[in-house]
Structure 1
Amino acid sequence: MNVSLLSWCVIVLAVLAANLPFFNQQLFALIPLSKSPDYRKPVWVRLLELVVLYFVVGALAHFFEANIGNAFTQRWEFYAVTGCLFLVLAYPGYVVRYLRKSHA
């Protein structure tokens, strides 16, 4: 597959995964946490989902890189930068969930 196409696939997947915890009330959008219709998922669960999804996207990106050619070893700087980038990609979901005024 084309390297550029796989790079864009990883970027789009990262944007979707970073915003997923903020746009639903289920765990990883699959497991319902409560049967109550007015249930709100706690912030710590959303952050835990964010961390797990960061590693899932990273593993998929490593898999793509290994299939293209040599997978390079990464040091802590790489993970610090990509973690911060993942948090920046999650900002739109955070704004919609917590900072936008509700018109109720």
Structure 2
Amino acid sequence: MLLTYPGWRNRTRVIEKSFLVRLLEMLVFYALVGVLGFAFEVNIGNSFTQTWEFYAITLSLFVVLGYPGFVYRYLLRRRKH
């Protein structure tokens, strides 16, 4: 839900953002979710060390799960009022 937030936030206005800004926004949200997950893991017990494969997979999942927000924002037709 956090990654789809930018697509739903301003669906009535036209927003001009560059690809770099959108990429940076996605990475900041990914880091926020990672920090929250790490804090939850430390809170319930011991933390586990992760390698680069873990981060590659979770980033891929983060992008895939954010796709519905992209579809809703850019691909669905809106009715003209």
Normalising by the smaller structure, the TM-score range is: 0.7 to 0.9
1:21–1:46 contact (8 Å) kept in structure 2:
no
1:17–1:53 contact (8 Å) kept in structure 2:
yes
**Structure 1 counterpart of 2:17, one-letter code:** P
Q: Deviations over 1:52-91 (max 9, x none)?
A: 0100010010011011111111111000000010011101
The 5 A counterparts of 1:49-68 are 49-68=25-44
Tell whether 2:45 aligns with 1:69.
yes
Tell whether 2:62 aligns with 1:86.
yes
Percent of aligned pairs with the same residue? Answer: 47
Gaps of 5+ in 2: none
Structure 2 partner of 1:28:
none
Q: Output the aligned Cα RMSD.
A: 1.8
Large movers: runs of 4+ above 6 Å: none
Q: Say how many residue pairs are matched.
A: 78
Secondary structure of residue in 2 paired with 1:23:
helix
Tell whether 2:9 aligns with 1:20.
no
TM-score by length of 2: 0.83
C-alpha change, 1:67 and 1:74, in structure 2 (3 Å) is: same
Structure 1 partner of 2:15:
40
Gaps of 5+ in 1: 1-15, 26-36
Query: Which structure's relative contact order is higher, taking Cα pairs within 8 Å and 6+ residues apart?
Result: 2
Structure 2 partner of 1:6:
none
C-alpha change, 1:97 and 1:39, in structure 2 (3 Å) is: closer
